[in-house]
Amino acid sequence: MIELDDVAYSYGGAELFAQVSLSLAPGSFHFLTGPSGAGKTTLLKLCYGELQAIAGDVRLFGAPARTLTRDQIALVRRKVGVVHQDCQFLDHLSVIENIALPLTVSGQDVDLANLQDLISWVGLGSQAEQLPPQLSGGERQRAALARAIIMSPDVIIADEPTGNVDWEMSQRLLTLLIELNRMGKAVLIATHDLNLIRAAKSQVGTRVLRLTDRRLQQAGADL
Amino acid sequence: MRALFRQFLWRFIGGAQADRSVPPTGFTAQLTVFAAAAMAFLAVFALALSLATSRLADRWSEELARTSTLRISAPADQADAQVRAAIGVLETTPGVASARALTAQEQQALLTPWFGPDLPLETLSIPKLIEIIEEGSGYDATGLRARLQAEVPGAVLDDHTSWRAPLVKAAGRLRSLAWVSIVLIAATTAAMVTLAAQAALAANAQVIRVMRLVGAQDSYIAWAFIRRFTSRAFAGALMGSLAGMLGVFFLPSTDVAGGFLTGIGFQGVHWLWPLAIPPLAACVAFFATRAAALRRLKEQS
């Protein structure tokens, strides 16, 4: 679905990483780890077309990312659910309207009553009508996750999804992501949280990648 | 074509939920409504001026083209005879409907604005005037002048050509100026809406980021802004137009004040013309916002 082949990226002429290859297949579960500033977020952005690689090939659902127009990239994003650490919402819309936003922008009829199951699944049943600024960090992460999966995407990409939440909440989020993976979704999570990785490995087959020294490597056995 | 129109309507009228994606408040909303209202108000007066000058030019052209004056300068003892001779000539001239000598009172009334009402007309050597009303395609001025020269040597025919042309030209210029004003008003409206739309797009950068993140295409995001600014411009222009029409309606009437300026206004179906201003303002806003939004979205990609 998403393939990176010998990809490089640089900011202002300074190479961030190079010779990065990655393939996200249906049902795969990847963790991406590495020191701060190694380029994890940049690598994720290449995976959903927000950035273009300066070298190598990125293929998004079979199409070379370089040839995609902005509108075609928008269509790709409907197949990729993205969760950021700093979850951004439309603050003037309710939580449930924010979660339904991908349906709205894709022109689908939105019946908010039908979203109750999803809202309950992420544990936000009582916060559905609140505005995003009224949510806690963990609640925002879960709302972002609900928004990311509402289109039933093939791939879920999460950038430090547990960065702002306590251990208990991170376990809940992980459980949700594992459930989605069991439904056949490919999951890619960038995180510093080694405990999260270990917890996931005990429940699902994962591949842990480390982005360090400008290269992407398979993590050691300790992970 | 019909499918395109349907798509346009769907995008414009539908998508209430999509509209909500953009926060509803902000100074750009008031700015757009105010600018559209002010510009529409001015446009109503420019339109009234244009229509008034059109009427004026037509009236001058029509009225002056249908009349002419024969001036007879002769010694007092020959004046009446020459007037009679001239009228005789005129009555047998094809294209002349009627010819009559102005009375002393009428001549006095013509001179009153310059010399006052107490002018002793009988003591002055004032030429006699004959008013000629034309019919059909009018008379042959060259032929008439030749006949008058032979039969009434003191007669001078003035068919108003020499001063009708500059008057009509002046009215035409005024009309052109009014239309230029309307075009400038439309351009100013476009500029104001563009500025407001750009400000709104800049203020909503995060909204645009989020919408892109969840898969919104540029056209969808642009339409959210286009709908909003088009409807604001329409509402503002409607208010401004109605206010302008009221202002024109309550202008002093010609009967009361007289003169050209009080002739500014609308007559009959011309009152419908200002109602075209709100849709036109909406069109201007539509294209201005569309251009600004697509440019901005391209820059932000």
Tens of pLDDT, residue by residue over B187-196, are 998 999 889 8
CATH number of the domain at A162, please: 3.40.50.300
Whether the complex's predicted ipTM surpasses the cut of 0.95 = no
Task: Tell me the residue range of the domain where A21 lies.
Answer: 2-218
Cβ pair A92:B23 closer than 8 A: yes
Q: Which residues of B touch A151 (CB under 8 A)?
A: 215
B218/A104 touch (CB, cutoff 8 Å), yes or no: no
| Inter-chain Cβ pairs, chain A and chain B, closer than 8 A | 62
Whether residue A70 and residue B301 make contact (CB cut-off 8 A), yes or no, is yes
Contact across the interface for A74 and B217, Cβ inside 8 Å: yes
Percent residues over pLDDT 70 in chain B: 88
User: Does A46 score more than 90 pLDDT?
Assistant: yes
Q: What are phi and psi of B215, to 5 degrees?
A: 100, 20
Residue A95 contacts residue A118 (beta carbons within 8 Å): no
**Residue of B235 and B300 predicted with greater confidence:** B235
Q: Does a structural domain hold residue A223?
A: no
Residue B262 pLDDT > 60, yes or no?
A: no
Smallest Cβ–Cβ distance between A89 and the set B17, B210, B297 belongs to: B210
What is the C-alpha to C-alpha distance for residues B70 and B93, in angstroms, rounded to an integer? 14
How many structural domains compose chain A? 1
Q: Is the pLDDT of residue A114 over 90?
A: no
pLDDT of A155 > 70? The answer is: yes
Q: Which residues contact B90 (CB under 8 A, 6 or more apart)?
A: B70, B96, B99, B130, B132, B144
Name chain A contacts of B218, Cβ cutoff 8 Å. Answer: 70-71, 74
Residues of B in contact with A149 (CB under 8 A): none
Instruction: Report the b/e string of B7-37 with b at 16+ CB within 10 A.
Output: eeeebeeebebbeebbbeeeebbebbbbbbb
A74 contacts B210? CB cut-off 8 A: no
Given an 8 Å threshold on Cβ–Cβ distance, is B215 in contact with A147? no
Q: So what's the pLDDT on residue B257?
A: 46
- Check pLDDT > 90 for residue A5: yes
Domain membership of residue A98 (yes or no) is yes
Where along chain B do its domains lie? Answer: 17-61+166-300, 74-153
Place of tokens 């077309």: A49
Query: Min CA distance, A88 vs chain B (Å)?
Result: 6
Picking from A155, A182, A211, the residue whose alpha carbon sits closest to that of residue A7 is A211
